[in-house]
Structure 1
Amino acid sequence: MTTWFHSWRAAVRIARRDAWRSKGRSILVLAMIALPILGVSALDLTLRSAELTPAQRMERTLGAADARFSDARTGGVAILQDPEGEQHTPAGDYESPGTPWPDGPTDVTKTIPAGSTVLTDSSGTAKLTTTHGLLQTEVRELAATDPVARGIMRLQEGRFPEKNDEIAATTRFLESSGLSVGSTLTARGFDRTYVISGSYELPSDLTAQQVNALPGAFLAPYAKAVEKAGVPKPDVSTTYLVKKAGGFTWNTVQAINAKGVLVTSRAVALDPPADSEVPLYQKEGWANYESSGAADAAALAAVGTVVGLAMLEICLLAGPAFAVGARRSRRQLGLVGANGGARSHIRAIVLSGGLVIGVAAALVGIVLALVLTFALRPLLEDYMGQRFGGFTVRPLELLAIAALAVLTGLLSAVIPAVTASRQTVLASLTGRRGVRRSNRVLPLIGLGAFLLGAAIALYGSVVSDQFVLVAGGSAIAELGVVAMTPALVGLFGRAGRWLPLSPRLALRDAVRNRGRTAPAVAAVLAAVAGTVAVSTYAASRDAQSQAEYRASLPHGAVAALVTEEGGRDVPAVRDAVQRTLPVDVRADVFRIAVGKPGCAPYGEGEGCGRFDVVIPPANECPLWATSPDGSDPAEKYSKEQRRALAKDWRCLSPDGNGIYVEEGLLVADAPLLKVLGIDDPGAAKALADGKLVSFHRPQVDRNSTVGIKLITDPEAADRAAEQNKPVPGELKSFPAYQVSGSPDSYGVESVLSPAAAKAAGLTTVPLGAFFSTDRMPSTEQRQRLDAEIAKLGSNVELTVEQGWVDGNGLVLLALTVFAGLVTIGAAGIATGLAQADAEADLKTLAAVGAPPRVRRMLSGFQCGVVAAMGVVLGAAAGVLPAVGLRLTEEREQMRFYQEALDQGWGGAGDAPPHVPIVVPWETLAALLVAVPLGAALLAALVTRSRGALARREAH
């Protein structure tokens, strides 16, 4: 034991001295290992610090209360909930046909135990005045100074409101609004003025735009004011913070659930029940996946895969660097052997180099992670949108990360250590390289792994639906290619006979010294293979996305719609668009209002109704027709009949693209047809004649009319529909013109002229306008328009059709740059090793009269050859996983398509899925040409044209 300890201590001392002497190489390897350690350690510190304990989470949710009571909106029907109080569902079976889903308010106050301290917490929205105009903001009424609410809000400046005419605001609202503490504000349609008494933040939502008022000081009077103006009242939700001696146990929570109330309990969160005691998790489809073994296994598998690939990449990159050190120290290692040192001692010295660098990288990476995470904590909190629970350091996790760095350093030095120990003492002292035969077993193992991995990937893509098989098989195949790299390098050497002198020497040198060339080529291969796989997959998805893209409007067209407040701001919005964008044609559009003019679409709001475009019974799809017993009508047909009906014109749903408008009906004149690109002279004439223009064939009955039913009581209509009874309402019939063919109407199913609507007694309100442009609006014009609309404060649905946009272009560029940097780095390491090995050859060239530039040219070509071999092999290996994944996706989408046909879903028979495989030739060209060329030029530039004089050695 003593001998072993002393020999390793001496080996570590030698390795530490060599690392200090070769500072450049040591810093390079240390940076390679330390940077991933820095990233992983910083990520661990950030996630652990941001991870709240149950006590911290309850403090931000409940303050000092014991529970929060919320209305589950089930009309008092019993519910089942999870322990966190985040998910719930009615306790009974409401999935059966004909069983209405429970809905309606519950009186939560009746479920609060007597003697409890109760604090109301109400929230609604309002348009508040700012220095820029109006801003839709959440208004929260909570007595923030009450001890029960302590911890929910954190005061930053000033004080919380103490009077009814005071409010506090979040810091993000003050930044967005341009206001400050002491400013005054009010709301649109509200004559009260409030003073901002202070600023605060929500620790778990730093981006919240919210103001705080005393209970009853804002929402109730604001609702009365806007209701008088004919504007729908804001929706207000109220929860109750309850404090009671003894708290609320899980049994108490379940008893309260029986009355239709959702409870978030501090006691339950701090001591949650077992999953077997939670009835919600026993219900089908509500399993607690987060705490299951499957979730842990999936997470561990993902983390293990990422860590394993990262370690492989680092080892492949750092291994040649340790080989450089071994080459430069071969005389020293030879002296160790000459003085009685065994091969194990030589291996220990080289391995100690990896140990020293690994320990140093671990210390540097973790220390930098601690310092940077602590210093950047405010920025990290702002980026994540929440305050940390504290600066949490878990020593065991950091120790595991440090061990990973040490293990990576040791693994990187294994192959150089074995190679160095196999050299004879004479070869080490004289600098002779000797004759080294390549390993014939490793390429065979690599070939077997490649074939096995390819077979697994092929099985996963053609037979199985498991993506993990494709990914796993591709990884095994790539490792097989890495194992075959020495043999593949030898095959590349046969191309040297057709090359000029310098590249021929570089290629021959790379082939003769595969021990240093193969790891560098493998590192380049791994980096390029990942880049090619991701870029091929992304390019293929882009091609599919482009083929499936359905425009919302004609190219360059604009739609600006306002559905709130009875279209009050529509004229200003129309003028803003026409003033800022290059408008060619403007088409004003209106919507039908049933009830008060201020009602929102689809009957949203008290006293508001809606309208339905009636589908004649003869035009109804048989697969969608309602059954008296509530059963699925498609079950009456065979699979072949459902497939046929899926292609029937009655069952083909209109495209889901386009602008979403109520019932697909717009009230407008002929300019709308021009903006939509409808080239049908008969359609414009029909509008002028008072007819309804239809783009959806099932709407038009056999008498060429379309019916519009006005429904004043939406709830009664819904109940009638559930009971398969006629929907009550007044029916208006219009003569219709069916546009021939199947033109793309961009979501608009029918158009009615304002004159025809008025003649029929329909009430219309402004909705907005559609615009065509003579050129695509620029980014600057869009920004000016957004600023104009922001001043109005209305919720404007603005659409500018720019066509399909490549969402992965920047990703592909970043991947190409990353692969280029890794390739150049790996090739540079291999070049440094080549120069260490080829120093004698360079001196021989100089002795026979070769000019100094030969040294630069040889160095550049050595680097370029390594980069070129790695890029070629990586490009070939990277296509396999991308093709496998795309084939798997094609099978899965085809299966969904066939199932849709079997079920008879409308529109399923339009076209089978298009899943192309596209190779990004631009990215491959950049990798195959630019990267090796750049690596060669960079190596040539940093290499000295004249080498140092050789020291005469005594023999």
Structure 2
Amino acid sequence: MITWFHSWRAALRIARRDAWRFKGRSFLVLAMIALPILGVSAVDLTVRSAELSPRETLARELGHADARFTDPGLAGAPILQGPKGTDYSPAKDYSDTAWPSGSTDLRKALPAGATTLTDTTGNAKLRTTHGLLQTQVRELRAADPVAEGIMRLQHGRFPARADEVAATTQFLETSGLRVGSKLTARGLDTPYRIVGSYEVPDELNRAEVNALPGALLAPLDKALRTQGLDSSTPDATLLVSLPGGFTWNMVQEANTKGVVVASRAVILSPPADADVPLYQKSDWIGYRDNGQTDPAALAAAGTVVGLAMLEICLLAGPAFAVGARRSRRQLGLVGANGGDRRHIRAIVLGGGLVIGVVAAVVGTVLGVALTFALKPVLEGYLGARFGAFDVRPLELLGIAAIAVLTGLLAAIVPAVTASRQTVLASLTGRRGIRRSNRVLPAVGLAAVVIGAAIALYGSTVSDSYVIVAGGSAVAELGVVAMTPALVGLFGKAGRWLPLSPRLALRDAVRNRGRTAPAVAAVLAAVAGTVAVATYTASSDAQNRDAYVADLPYGAVALSISDDGGRDVPAARAAVQRELPVAVSAKIDGLVVGPPRCASDNWGKGCGTAEVVVPDANQCPLWKEGSGDKDFSAAERLKLRADRRCKDMTVYPPTGDTVVGDAALLKVLGIKDPGAEKALAAGEILSFDPLNVDTRGKIGIRLITDTHAADEARQQNKKVPAAVKEFTAHAVPGKPNSYGIKMIIPAAAARAAGFGVVPLGGYFSTTSMPSSVQEQRLTSALDTFGANAYLDIEKGYVGENNIVLLALGVFAGLVTIGAAGIATGLAQADAEADLKTLAAVGAPSRVRRTLSGFQCGLVAGMGVLLGSAAGLLPAVALRLTERREGENRYRQALTDGLNQAVVPHVPIIVPWGTLAALLVAVPVGAALLAAVVTRSHRTLGRRAAT
């Protein structure tokens, strides 16, 4: 008795032998299925290995300690905290009063029997082989067993004496030092010897130096304060060890003394939300991680996997169809010997199952091996070390099952088609006449319309990203369904083409069952790439627009306010000596009082100078005596568009009012001959037209007593000060002055009774200063013993250019691969036509050019349709984000927040990426196919009839 088991075993045996017989075609399909499986399995391993478990995270944060005590800076006031110690709030309600501020003695919260290890972090300027480098300093006894795991030693050892330090590999690479070198800090003459190098597992790119507690930061702070230099206050925490660990009750007891506790035992076994008093506060709006997966993320992952499977099926399906066509005589013999349709379907499906299983094994094994081999590279790219190499068999088995399922799905349509052929047609090789399906394009058109409507609804009415993504996916599937009909429309252009492209186009249209899936596969890949590229380019443009430059690109600002500007001339010379300076502009400062007031305008007898804005030019929202509650939301919205209410977003280090000359205009990139003439004539130059009244005058208020003026403002009284008027020249247009509102000629300032002292300078450069040049300049400025502020404008730095390049390369590879597959199948399927061309005397180059145009046409059609389909989801998502931003802006105005920022959510089409896809990829695919195609003639004998 022959059962289904025997028939399927025979079908699998035939499919295995057929796959082995046609190794080229089998390898092609296997590669198409295995490569995505390789990528998905590698991504799964990378994500799982990079995703630390709670124990691994605690090992890097606490070492072997049981808890970390942190001072929240609330002066010991009782607090409430979450189980992880990352969120906290005062236990008392301070809604009507200011929060307490001040340090807390962490040791007062220690329970009996606890041992501690101090962990202190601060910043210091350390001397390198190039100059000075701002570096984080961490004082922790890293060799103590309690601290094991927080730092990983690479070479040498951790410091054991007060004059020893260890450094991260990133610091050694940047500074040019090595293990065994001497290291000193700015302001401290004590030398330290570097005895080892280490890395911080969570931040491999951190430049850090490790010292024993009290060995570097405290002496450095004392020395800097003695020399009158700026010093920052270090942050100290305690690593606490206690037999039995810290329970939740012990954590709450420490909270009553104003200490935040991150407890190992509590984090591993957190209490219920009902037992956390912080979560029961009526005004608590903090974030709680419940450990559940975001449904939107699951939906997005499911959509990506589904589209990937669809793309593989579209690519592999024609290969199985051509294989079934090439094996039609064998399938005909099966039918002639008693096999029915289900046996033929089983044989073709068996081919998909065999190749799917092999692809699953090969892809999964290669994914695991490749991830393990590239582990150091991946860790360097992520900037953090993996935890354990986390191989999850069930997840890999699920990924492998996707490969098997994909192979079966790709073989379904060819199996059904092959089973419908008659035995006579299979044995004779006649295909018969097949009509185009008219239902599928209609369904596809309806899906496009419905999907686009859903996406637009989600972007204009709803705030759900899932609706936008779902509608876009439906529309893309509709375009895929319309692909055969669209390919037929492309065929109408064949009458105007030369011989080779006309033959290629007609062959593609005639064999839509082979061409349409390849075009659809290219369409799917390009649509996803265009969507992500458009969204990424738009987000990058938004971030770039939100970035406010302090200076023109590559320009340098120097400011020194110590000792009445005594060291400023030498500092200016150092900038010109160490950096590639093109134009130098000297900047002086206004002083009200003796020269010492240049560094401390709050000292006795010192005052300030303020610009007097005419009453008619003042913003009603910011006038003295006015409050945001005095205006309705509609009035605030209207006033936000008033030019008087545009807040200045750049605060230059030299102040908004400087004493300078026309050289400053050159550095700022302002070209205005009238402005240069005004400065030469002794007039004040104003970049803010609101500061100039209708008479062309500008007023400067001379406040001789800063303390008295501050008290008057607090009491809402008029500030006692004299106002002096100057003739002003308002620069026309809206030049970018980078926060500088006025430039006063030195002669005009002195004539008005102001003191003028050197303040710094602005410098334009011929090229962007390097890190080595910056370190050298910082070291040179340190020799003066003054607190110099140095700002180098490096411009907006985004990573999206790399993303766009990666997306373009990915889409190009997929497109070329899909077009190449379609071309190979076309050559295999049309071998008889090629032999006919050779028999009638066609030149050898026709075969090569025909292959090139076949490949280029498939790539071109797919790229063109994919580019159009990919714009919809990106535009819809950006419109959704624009609506959310506008809603937040209106809500902020309703709540009385006058400083709310008007949302700017642009939609940018990445024309460079589209041009590369529309032109370079099809042309490259055509040239590649033409190069690899053999052009020699192959004559065949006429088949016997």
Same fold (TM over 0.5): yes
| 1:35 corresponding residue in structure 2 | 35
Aligned to 2:867: 875
Conserved in 1, the CA contact under 8 Å of 2:535 and 2:878?
Answer: yes
Cross-structure match for 2:688? 695
Match of 2:375 in 1: 377
Structure 1 residue aligned with 2:75 = 75
Letter of the 1:351 counterpart? L
Q: 2:934 aligns with which of 944, 948, 951?
A: 944
Among 830, 834, 838, the alignment partner of 1:838 is: 830
Superposition map of 1:15-414 within 5 A: 15-96=15-96, 99-283=97-281, 284=283, 286-288=285-287, 290-291=289-290, 293=292, 295-414=293-412
CA deviation after TM superposition for structure 1 residue 930, in Å: 4.3
Given residue 375 of structure 1, which amino acid in structure 2 is its aligned partner? A
> Taking structure 1 as reference, are residues 875 and 59 closer, same or farther at Cα in structure 2, changes over 3 Å only?
closer
CA apart distance, 1:875: 3.3
Partner of 1:651: 645
Q: Structure 1 counterpart of 2:51, which letter?
A: E
SS at structure 2 position matched to 1:291: coil
CA distance in 1, matches of 2:110, 2:597: 38
Partner amino acid, structure 1, of 2:64: A
Aligned match of 1:935: 925
Query: Separation in 1 of the partners of 2:562 and 2:235?
Result: 21
Residue in 2 that maps onto 1:561: 558
In structure 2, C-alpha distance between the alignment counterparts of 1:873 and 1:850, rounded to whole Å: 33
Residues 891 and 210 of structure 1: is their aligned pair in 2 closer, same or farther, counting only changes over 3 Å?
A: closer
Q: Provide the residue aligned with 2:817 in structure 1.
A: 825
In the alignment, structure 1 residue 490 sits paired with structure 2 residue 488: yes
Structure 1 pair 134/403, CA: closer, same or farther in 2 (3 Å)?
Answer: same
The Cα of 1:73 is off from its aligned counterpart by 0.6
Asked whether the equivalents of residues 838 and 937 of structure 2 are also in contact (C-alpha less than 8 Å), the reply is no
> Relative to 1, partners in 2 of residues 1:886 and 1:121: Cα closer, same or farther, differing over 3 Å?
closer
Identify if the C-alpha distance between structure 1 residues 46 and 953 changes in structure 2 by more than 3 Å, giving closer, same or farther: same
Q: Do structure 1's residue 725 and structure 2's residue 715 form an aligned pair?
A: yes
Amino acid at match of 2:688: F
User: For the residues of structure 1 that align with 2:351 and 2:835, how far apart are their CA atoms?
Assistant: 29
| Counterpart position of 2:586 | 587
The equivalences for 1:435-834 within 5 A come to 435-537=433-535, 552-553=550-551, 558-562=555-559, 574-579=572-577, 580-581=579-580, 583-590=582-589, 613=610, 618=615, 621-625=619-623, 633-648=627-642, 650-654=644-648, 656=649, 658=650, 660-661=652-653, 664-669=656-661, 671-673=663-665, 675-676=667-668, 677=670, 679=672, 695=688, 697=690, 704-707=698-701, 724-725=714-715, 735-740=725-730, 741=732, 743-744=734-735, 745-751=737-743, 768-772=760-764, 777-778=766-767, 785-786=773-774, 788-789=776-777, 791-792=779-780, 797-800=790-793, 812=804, 814-834=806-826
Compared with structure 1, are the counterparts of its residues 132 and 648 closer, same or farther at alpha carbon in structure 2 (3 Å cutoff)?
closer
Partners of 1:710 and 1:414 lie apart in 2 by 89
For the 8 Å contact 1:699–1:706, the answer to whether it is kept is: no
Which letter maps to 1:137?
A: T
Distance in 2 between the 1:593 and 1:390 partners? 64
Deviates more, 1:893-902 or 1:737-746: 893-902
Q: CA deviation at 1:70?
A: 1.0
After TM superposition, give the deviation of residue 602 of structure 1 in Å: 11
* Structural mapping, 1:894-913, within 5 Å: none
Distance in 1 between residues matched to 2:334 and 2:398, nearest whole Å: 34
How does the TM-score come out when normalised to structure 2?
0.87
Measured after TM superposition, the shift of residue 808 of structure 1 is 5.9
SS at match of 2:229: coil
Q: Is the 8 A contact 2:585 2:661 kept in 1?
A: no
For residue 262 of structure 1, report the CA deviation from its aligned partner.
0.9
Paired residues in the alignment total 932
* 1:592-646 Cα deviation digits (max 9, x unpaired): 799998999999xx99x9968476795753323566xxxx922222345435544
> Which range moved further: 320-329 or 836-845?
836-845
Offset of 1:35 from its aligned partner?
A: 2.1
State the 1:551 CA deviation. Answer: 6.2
Native 8 Å contact 2:592 2:607 kept in 1: yes
Verify the 8 A CA contact 1:355 1:406 in the aligned structure 2: yes
Gap regions ≥5 residues in structure 2: 783-787
Q: Per-residue deviation at 1:482?
A: 0.8
Deviation at 1:476, TM superposition (A): 0.9
Under a length normalisation based on structure 1, what TM-score does the superposition of the two structures give?
0.86
Report the alpha carbon displacement of residue 9 of structure 1 after superposing the two structures with TM: 2.2
Q: Aligned-pair distance for 1:559?
A: 2.6
8 Å contact from structure 1 (residues 71, 108) kept in 2 = yes
One-letter amino acid of the counterpart of residue 695, structure 1: D
C-alpha change, 1:107 and 1:680, in structure 2 (3 Å) is farther
Does structure 2 retain, via aligned residues, the 8 Å contact 1:324–1:833? yes
Structural RMSD (CA): 4.3
- Deviation by residue 1:883-913 (Cα, 9 ceiling, x = unmatched): 434544555566567678878977999xx98
Q: Taking structure 1 as reference, are residues 539 and 141 closer, same or farther at Cα in structure 2, changes over 3 Å only? A: closer
Alpha-carbon distance in structure 2 between the residues aligned to 1:936 and 1:376: 34
CA contact (8 A) 1:171 1:201 kept: yes
2:120–2:236 Cα contact (<8 Å) kept? yes
Does structure 2 conserve the Cα–Cα contact (< 8 Å) formed by 1:827 and 1:864?
Answer: yes
Once the 2 structures are TM-superposed, how far is the Cα of residue 751 of structure 1 from its aligned partner? 4.1
In structure 1, runs of 5+ residues without a counterpart are: none
Whole-angstrom distance in 1 between the partners of 2:238 and 2:839? 92
Structure 1: which amino acid aligns with 2:777? I
Letter aligned with residue 488 of structure 1 = L
Q: 2:537, 2:217 → 1: CA distance?
A: 51
Per-residue deviation, residues 39-81 of structure 1 (Å, max 9, x unmatched)? 2222222222233222222222222222111110112222232
Shift of 1:826: 1.8
Q: Does the Cα contact within 8 Å between 2:613 and 2:699 map onto a contact in 1?
A: no
Q: Could you tell me how far 1:452 is from its partner in structure 2?
A: 0.7
What is the CA deviation profile of residues 264-308 of structure 1, one whole-angstrom value per residue up to 9, with x for unaligned ones? 111111111233433444455635454265x52122112112222
Q: 1:181 to 1:834 in 2, by over 3 A?
A: closer
Identical aligned pairs, as a percentage?
61
Structure 2 CA distance for aligned equivalents of residues 820 and 663 of structure 1: 51
How many Å separate the matches in 1 of 2:627 and 2:402? Answer: 61
For residue 19 of structure 1, report the CA deviation from its aligned partner. Answer: 2.2
* Equivalent AA in structure 2 for residue 222 of structure 1: L
Amino acid at match of 1:584: V
Deviation string for 1:130-160 (max 9, x for gaps)? Answer: 2222222222222333343333333333333
**Is contact 1:710–1:729 with CA below 8 Å preserved after alignment?**
no
Name the CA distance, whole Å, in 2 between partners of 1:73 and 1:38.
50
> In 2 relative to 1, CA 54–820 (structure 1 residues): closer, same or farther, beyond 3 Å?
closer
Structure 1, residues 391-416: CA drift from partner, whole Å, max 9, x if none?
22111111111112222222222222
Residues 735 and 291 from structure 1, CA distance in 2 versus in 1: closer, same or farther, beyond 3 angstroms? same
